[in-house]
Structure 1
Amino acid sequence: MSCFPGSLRCPLCLSNDNCENAPEQVCPAGSTHCYDGVLRLRGEGIRANLKVQGCMTQPGCNLLNGIKAIGTLHMSESCGLQLGPKALDCNRASFDTVRNVSALHLSWTTGWETCEPGEGCYEIVMLLQNGHEFHMVLTKGCTRDVNKKAQFTKHRTGPGISIVSYFHVCRDRDFCNDLSTTETLWIPPPDTVPGTLRCPHCLSTRGCENAPEQACPAGTHCYNGVLRLRGGTIATNLRVQGCSQQPGCDLLSGVKAIGPVDVREDCGSHSGETP
């Protein structure tokens, strides 16, 4: 392209944010068209939407000459006005683990997926602490559910077993389901005074045979049940034995679903059976 100025003038912008009110530039001689598009770059550690306006020697939406990837970096391009709902990119993850509470707080990285037009991004985190252990469920991806502001729910606060959940659906930007740590969700329960009651202690996605006993906080009851979680990318049977603030089979205080994840609770002699 010639370095001498021509007669064409185009907006000039290179931004990760927006190109509103971009200043115009005089294009070099030989420029025939103005370019206005977005380069979407997706790869390990890179998730950028680069807005580009400037001068081109040819029409069309093909800055990349048809190239869709460079190594593990995936690239796509869109130009001009888009009719209908935009296809969002969302963080995608599925995580289900039992760990010692000394591992809190947890942080995580995710993959990504491009949603169907009109879909939004969702994320669910559920944390259950039982004594010195905790169970964490995380699922993220695309959904047709309506937008929902971030909802933080304390289902049970102890003493004894404690459960919190987080649910969010959004469409305001790519990767808006971006929670990446438990730090804002989990506050350790306060210290308690031990009572005389002792209960089997277990938190497992397998079995609870010969579970050791633990001393319970004063005023609590023994709990023995299974939480069955189904939905999104989650299919978990979590065996729970421990100390509960109140009697009965209602760890989640009547909640039957957290976003797309259905929750069912079974207690008693049949709780060890697989549905």
Structure 2
Amino acid sequence: MGTPRIQHLLILLVLGISLLTSGLELYCQKGLSMTVEADPANMFNWTTEEVEICDKGALCQETILIIKAGTETAILATKGCIPEGEEAITIIQHSSSPGLIVTSYSNYCEDSFCNDKDSLSQLWEFSETTASTMSTTLHCPTCVALGTCFSAPSLPCPNGTTRCYQGKLEITGGGIESSVEVKGCTTTIGCRLMSGILAVGPMFVREVCPHQLLTQPRKTENGAICLPIPVWGLQLLLPLLLPSFIHFS
């Protein structure tokens, strides 16, 4: 008689432990989004009906990368479990107006369904550049696209911008594997649209820019003007310069 009672107690104990364990499971919203929007503040919907059960020690995460060029905005967003990290909310303005704008947001949290942001309305204020603030001298090809820009019209730049940018952001991680081509007006010098930050939540970003020729002549220490010449230019000049070198030698 004692043995069945002990077995029942053991079963109840196991059931109790399993109920406690299930109560500690972490549930996170799960989803991916990659899109280009003209009015993301009002049109982009970050809700998802998918749910993911995390492994022990994991956290929930929601991360978004926003790239605006002209009137178009590329959005790459991911939600789900993250195996490690610290609870934190991080917002970074990688490149700010005037010109190209790049902003990222990541939220690492420890409660079930805490990665529940559904829109961009509280994240980024999308401001339109009015015609009165546009430059009459600087124009740049302008576009942002997933993959490759098929059209990049030359548009007047906002006052305060100083140069044209052209590059690609290669993004992997968090379930995302994509590239974004970006062209437009900027104040950023060099290939630093991401301000040198390579990780955004679970996403890793590699910024790639074509080698661009300097547009301004530089002065040497003795005051002489040094004009930048590309390699193909040297190839054209060498046949003309060699006879002179041979003659003087």
Per the normalisation by structure 2, the TM-score is 0.71
Residue 194 of structure 1 pairs with residue 161 of structure 2: no
Matches within 5 A, 1:174-193: 174-189=112-127, 191=129, 193=133
**RMSD of aligned Cα (Å):** 2.6
Q: 1:130 to 1:117 in 2, by over 3 A?
A: same
1:262 matched residue in structure 2: 204
**Shift of residue 189 of structure 1?**
3.8
Distance 2:168 2:40 in 1: 24
What is residue 159 of structure 2 aligned with on the other side? Answer: 218
Aligned in 2, Cα 1:116/1:211: closer, same or farther, shift over 3 Å? same
CA distance in 2, matches of 1:103, 1:164: 13
- Which sections of structure 1, spanning at least 5 residues, go unmatched? 1-58, 63-77, 271-275
Distance between the aligned counterparts of 1:176 and 1:206, measured in 2?
A: 32
Tell me by how many angstroms 1:160 deviates. Answer: 0.4
Aligned to 2:41: 104
Asked if 2 retains the 8 angstrom alpha-carbon contact of 1:86 and 1:117, the reply is no
- Aligned residues, how many? 195
Would you say 1:207 and 2:148 are equivalent positions? Answer: yes
> Could you say what secondary structure the match of 2:194 adopts?
coil
CA distance in 2, matches of 1:206, 1:118: 35
Shift of 1:134: 0.2
Work out whether residues 32 and 78 of structure 2, in 8 Å CA contact, stay in contact via their aligned partners in 1: yes
Tell me the amino acid that sits aligned with residue 89 of structure 1.
Y
- Name the stretch that deviates more: 209-218 or 196-205: 209-218
2:246 aligned residue: none
Give 1 or 2: higher strand fraction. Answer: 1
Looking at CA atoms only, which structure, 1 or 2, has the larger radius of gyration? Answer: 2
Match of 1:248 among 167, 182, 190: 190
Asked if 1:164 corresponds to 2:106, the answer is: no
Contact 2:28–2:80 (CA<8 Å) still a contact in 1?
A: yes
SS in 2 for 1:82: helix
Aligned-partner residue type, residue 104 of structure 1: A
Structure 1 position 92, deviation (Å) = 0.2
Higher relative contact order (CA 8 A, sep 6+): 2
- How many angstroms does 1:246 deviate by? 2.4
Matches within 5 A, 1:116-155: 116-155=55-94
Which letter maps to 1:214? L
Task: Report the CA distance between 1:239 and its aligned residue.
Answer: 0.6
The CA deviation at 1:61 is: 9.3
TM-score of the superposed pair, with normalisation by structure 1:
0.65
Q: Is the 8 A contact 2:90 2:107 kept in 1?
A: yes
**Structure with greater proportional helix content:** 2
